[in-house]
Amino acid sequence: MERSRIAVAGASGLIGAALVRSLAADGHEVVRLVRRPPRAAQEVRWDPEGGRVDAAGLAGCDAVVNLAGAGVGDHRWTDAYKARIRCSRVLGTTALAEAIAGLERKPRVFVSGSAMGFYGETGERTVDESAPPGDGFLPRLCVEWEAAAAPAREAGVRTVFPRTGLVVARGGGAWGRLFPLFEAGLGGRMGDGRQYWSYIALHDEVAAIRHLLDTDGLSGPFNLTAPVPLTNREITAAMGRVLHRPTLFTVPAPVLRAALGELSGDVLGSARVVPKRLLESGFTFAFPDIEGALRAA
């Protein structure tokens, strides 16, 4: 993409902050959507849970990227927190999509975040973008989340849904919690360790989003996961090798369920997700294997 004006919602999050740094380094003008009063010309006020955005601030944008949403793993899944997770994504996406649809000069592309949670529990079964949604809170959320972008798509804006896996990074997400435990020699498999984790290096996550932004003709869902998902047992062993620490501890499934409640299903569940459409579109992973992704982090 030539030098462009790109709006990013969720610019302070793990992925959003890395994306903003990457775009700015290449000379793009980045407009950040913020919940507080704007403090700079490149900031636009919005209220995702209230479903409001200053549409005038999106005028002239060539692309809009929506990565905003309350953290799925930040709190125990009470009914109130599940409602917050949903509202921050569905209402925020609806507000952005409607604002985009109402612009006289519309952006060329809307990259609207989603997650591999769309597929739910897959067990040993490998799934790509053609698979239907699974059952449970996260699959229902992802279906609603993607559907909320309809106003932009129906207005003729190329709309893409990156269904992101577990991002390997030190600064946040699941691995932000795992690294300190393993470095202290307290890491180990979770449950029986046979559940599949579909991961992606933060570097590749950002590169894939930029690929979706830059490549005309790409629309719909794209799994942003490394080519070969691994089991929790395999990932635990790789963590031990890379960090030179023992991985003797095991967190039994009942303990995880007691500590995390419904969220434990996301940790103990199996998601064997592959990036079929991303690979077919010509994307090349810099860190396709887990040890490379861990070393990059």
More confident residue, 254 or 206: 206
Model confidence pLDDT, tens digit, residues 80-135: 888 888 998 999 999 999 999 999 999 999 999 999 999 999 999 999 999 999 99
What's the pLDDT tens digit per position in 127-146?
A: 999 999 999 999 999 999 99
d(CA 189, CA 161): 31
Domain spans of the chain, in order of start: 5-296
Q: Determine the Cα angle at 274 with ends 163 and 183, to 5°.
A: 80
CATH of 5-296, one of 3.30.70.270, 1.10.3720.10, 3.40.190.10, 3.40.50.720: 3.40.50.720
What pLDDT does residue 246 have? 87
Residue 119 confidence (pLDDT): 97
**pLDDT of amino acid 253:** 56
pTM: 0.94
